Structure 1
Amino acid sequence: MAAPHHRASSVLERLLNEGSVEEYAYRLAPKSHAFARIPREPHITAETVEARWQALAAPGERRERLLDAQTRAQMEAYQRNIENFIGTVKLPVGIAGPLRVNGLHAQGDYVVPLATTEAALVASYSRGSQLITRAGGCTALLLNEGVSRAPGFAFRDLIEAGRFVSWVLSQMDAFRAAAATTTRHGRLLDLRVTVEGNHVYLGFDYATGDAAGQNMVTIATEAVCRYILEHTPVEPQYSFVEANLSGDKKASALSFLSVRGKKVTAEVHLPAELVKAGLHTTPEQMVNYWRMSAMGGVLSGTVGVQGHYANGLAALYIACGQDAACVAESAVGVTRFELTGDGDLYAAVTLPNLIVGTVGGGTGLPSQRACLELLGLAGPGHAQALAEICAALALAGELSIIGALAAGHFARAHQQLARGSGKDA
């Protein structure tokens, strides 16, 4: 990543004014002196937590903010979710809604818990949700499901790689059986083969039930890889259980060619008078903004074209015990606004990578389960509904933020809610 000449020169001049080259060389060099070790006992007990706090030598007031009485009482609940445990961090939770969803799996009016420190976010999503509800709700449709893992195998040459692929294509039943030994809830669905020179990538797609499934598919694929290495007629030089072709925790063009997690689309028709009353603008201006922003997304090279899926998804994921890092891939998608023949607004979103679950992971933790219970989606049988609600929430957020931009209210809303009117805000 290049830095412009004038900027690089300015930074260098500032650094040399503050210190010598020798001083910076010492600061940046590796240091070999001893360091304090943090106790690494994996089990959460009062004794192990106490030992870590002793090692930290932190003031008691700081400790109390992270390890208050409620956290101490609930420590056992975090046993399978954290290492080197010292306490909990609290985030404010607000509710957006009601959000009416007319989906294959999600049906009804939902109040959506959102955990965030960003003022104006809950207000924006709540405004969009109420607008959708006044229009009779949005239609949401789960289109596809599957969580992938992509091991890679290296061979001496393309001939060996070809022989390996020929054998792999005859082994699907054996791969399914190997995967099935590791899980009662996951199921190997399909296999995609990618050859690049003497490298072979195998893309395994799994159904993961009501779990988000990241760990499930990793463990299942490890079992499949063991079977491959024990039975393949062509021994690879080396292999890895994940070779970075699955799209795990990153935005990629692969999103629009397949699915990772749950692929959902949602739409709503908004009468012009409702747009005017709820967003203080017109469908025409909303479409004008969408058209310009879509081109802006193309010019900036974004993966997909959307306004701010990550805002709502991150807040929902944190509140409901999802893997927050999966927002990196879940927030990929496309938003589309059109003017109907009657002058009303048609709005739609499609998100191909929603990694969500209602069992496993952080969904059983006390606060996170309470948030899922507020949605009526705690436990088995609800992951598909949660995915449709995620798409509906993303649609609500797109309507609200584009409405604010189209009406010229975007900066004012943040001034009022995020910064206040104080002189030092």
Structure 2
Amino acid sequence: METRRRFPPPSCTSPSPASTLRSLPAAPRSSGDRIQASDALPIPIRHTNLLFSLLFVCSIVFLMRRWRDKVRESIPLHAVDLSELVSIISVVASLIYLISFFGIAIVQSIVSSHEDEVDDFLPDSKMTPSPAPSSDLAMPMLAGREDEDIIAAVVAGKTPSYALESAIGDCHRAAEIRREAIRRISGRGLDGLPLEGFDYGSILGQCCEMPVGYVQLPVGIAGPLILDGREHYLPMATTEGCLVASTNRGCKAIAESGGAASVVLRDAMTRAPVVRFLTAARAAELKFFLEEPTNFDNLSVIFNRSSRFARLQDIQCALVGRNLYMRFCCTTGDAMGMNMVSKGVQNVLDYIQNDFPDMDVISLSGNFCSDKKPSAVNWILGRGKSVVCEAVIKEEVVKKVLKTSVSALVEVNTIKNLAGSAIAGALGGFNAHASNIVSAIFIATGQDPAQNVESSHCITMMEAVNDGKDLHISVTMPSIEVGTVGGGTQLASQSACLDLLGVKGACMESPGANARLLATIVAGAVLAGELSLMSALAAGQLVKSHMKYNRSCKDTSKAASN
């Protein structure tokens, strides 16, 4: 696909002589005028390589012959004469050169190709170079200026707020200056928003732009959750009272009943571009092309080049008029994988453009993915990790810990989670509060909170088993989108929570294992949360519990006095 490069129009402001000198680019160099890495050598690189290669071979041959004669004549090998000493030194010197410097030509080719790439983004040499804006020329000088001067420049619009980090070279100072500028512009302070105690350099260029502080959010621990024979303590970042306590009660009930079990049904992140043709028939040709098994093998090779972890699984197509939606599904290792799959899709689009030059790419994402939106396609086909988690809760535990009965739980689940959600027209919302637990763990572990939308798709099932004495509970979650590398997972606090769960970073032995384990933990936590809340509803304790844990005694006394 053609890439269009746009260059800034010539500036209408006449630059000063000094700024003109700074803004003028160097004269274009031909390929023969470029600085070569081999220029540091006294003779051309090819002659130098040949010289040391011959020296190495000749010295080795000489030494082997001399040592052979010494062995035959029973002369000690350590008795070295001048010629042998010179040969040994020659071998060592030539070997050092061949190991360390023989790749100069390769280095030079990389340097040359880099210069070619830079040249591709520069205007044609015949174009008149336009001077850089005066504000950009002043950027490197901001580091030495007083804070008050920079704040005034930001308020006046002379210095863009988004460029403070690169202009000053100090991320914390940039946040402080931006914060004060916002206060002066808006007339409202940010006194309650903390500034100190955060590493702003850790979010530069990856997590948040133009920071002015950070929000404090408490993290509670529920558990242990016994899942697949292992203990997990669940970090939950939330401001909703009773949520951690309720999940903790569910974990206790599961633990006293022998624990829960989980299965990852599928692992596939998706991206669905939309393309358009002149006719629907032509769009159908591409659909049939993509669905042909032999073509899929070739497309997999093209797609998988984007990353050593990306592996294309299938392509699902949907045709709407002359528009074709292609849903690419692939594994992404321990990363959540949106960027990875997007790069792979771009590679495939570039490839099939050769066979379908009349294809017009409308958008890399056509909402058939579907990302950060409730959708039937995710509910039915899944996205990210599809997980089912189950447990059998003993009758005595239901009565002792959950304060209710098996029959009451089954009845409430059927009438509320199944029938109630059905008449509400719920899409993936056949549960009590899966989103509560998913959001809390997502925020604590550095996941994308917006993906809570599809990650909270869940259906909770409850049945009486073992002659009606025990309770079988399960949660089926088809689209849990999590990762243990990239994004917010690398921040200190979130990384600590991942470490608590034992899924920090990438799994070297089995790529993707940490992300899959995190998905099962999320499902297990949802299982615990569903069990506890449904028990509170069945026992009529919901309001009592929230008044106890969601309202402190101090607040209650104030409310009574008022």
What is the TM-score normalised by the length of structure 2?
0.65
Greater Cα offset, 43-52 or 149-158? 43-52
Cross-structure match for 1:384: 516
Matched, 1:108 2:108: no
Matched, 1:222 2:346: yes
Deviations 1:339-381 (A, max 9, x none): 1124211100000000011111111100000111111211112
Matched, 1:422 2:557: yes
Deviation at 1:234, TM superposition (A): 5.1
Conserved? CA contact 2:402–2:536, under 8 Å: yes
Deviation at 1:385, TM superposition (A): 0.9
Matched, 1:181 2:315: no
Q: What pairs up with 1:2-401 in 2 under 5 angstroms?
A: 39-41=161-163, 43=166, 45-57=171-183, 62=190, 65-68=193-196, 70-71=197-198, 74-79=199-204, 80-102=206-228, 107-170=229-292, 171-229=295-353, 231-233=354-356, 235-293=358-416, 294-304=418-428, 305-340=430-465, 341-381=467-507, 382-401=514-533
Deviations 1:179-227 (A, max 9, x none): 3333222222211111122111111001010111122212222222222
* Cα gap change, 1:95 to 1:36, in 2 (>3 Å): farther
Conserved? CA contact 1:144–1:264, under 8 Å: yes
Amino acid in the other structure paired with 2:161: P
SS at match of 1:362: helix
Deviation at 1:266, TM superposition (A): 0.7
SS at match of 2:401: helix
Amino acid in the other structure paired with 1:134: E
Amino acid in the other structure paired with 2:162: R
Conserved? CA contact 1:164–1:234, under 8 Å: no
Deviations 1:297-333 (A, max 9, x none): 0000111311111100100000001111110000002
- Once residues 279 and 193 of structure 2 are traced to their aligned partners in structure 1, the CA distance between those partners, rounded to angstroms, is 58
Deviation at 1:76, TM superposition (A): 1.6
- Once residues 314 and 139 of structure 1 are traced to their aligned partners in structure 2, the CA distance between those partners, rounded to angstroms, is 22
Deviation at 1:82, TM superposition (A): 1.2
* Cα gap change, 1:145 to 1:238, in 2 (>3 Å): closer
Cross-structure match for 1:412: 544
SS at match of 1:265: strand
- Once residues 374 and 474 of structure 2 are traced to their aligned partners in structure 1, the CA distance between those partners, rounded to angstroms, is 20
Cross-structure match for 2:535: 403
Aligned residues: 383
Deviations 1:13-40 (A, max 9, x none): xxxxxxxxxxxxxxxxxxxxxx975611
Q: Percent identity?
A: 34
Greater Cα offset, 55-64 or 93-102? 55-64
Amino acid in the other structure paired with 1:66: P
Report the RMSD for the aligned CA atoms in angstroms.
2.1
* Cα gap change, 1:197 to 1:364, in 2 (>3 Å): same
Conserved? CA contact 2:332–2:340, under 8 Å: yes
Deviation at 1:169, TM superposition (A): 3.7
Unmatched tracts of structure 2, length 5 or more: 1-154, 508-513
Unmatched tracts of structure 1, length 5 or more: 1-34
SS at match of 1:247: coil
Greater Cα offset, 281-290 or 178-187? 178-187
Deviations 1:226-267 (A, max 9, x none): 2233x1335134421111011211221112321200000011
Amino acid in the other structure paired with 2:559: D
* Structure ranking higher on relative contact order (CA contacts 8 Å, 6+ apart): 1
- Once residues 390 and 192 of structure 2 are traced to their aligned partners in structure 1, the CA distance between those partners, rounded to angstroms, is 47
Which structure: larger Rg?
2
- Once residues 358 and 386 of structure 1 are traced to their aligned partners in structure 2, the CA distance between those partners, rounded to angstroms, is 8
Conserved? CA contact 1:155–1:238, under 8 Å: no
- Once residues 344 and 395 of structure 2 are traced to their aligned partners in structure 1, the CA distance between those partners, rounded to angstroms, is 51
- Once residues 200 and 380 of structure 2 are traced to their aligned partners in structure 1, the CA distance between those partners, rounded to angstroms, is 42
Deviation at 1:64, TM superposition (A): 7.5
- Once residues 217 and 133 of structure 1 are traced to their aligned partners in structure 2, the CA distance between those partners, rounded to angstroms, is 38
What is the TM-score normalised by the length of structure 1?
0.85
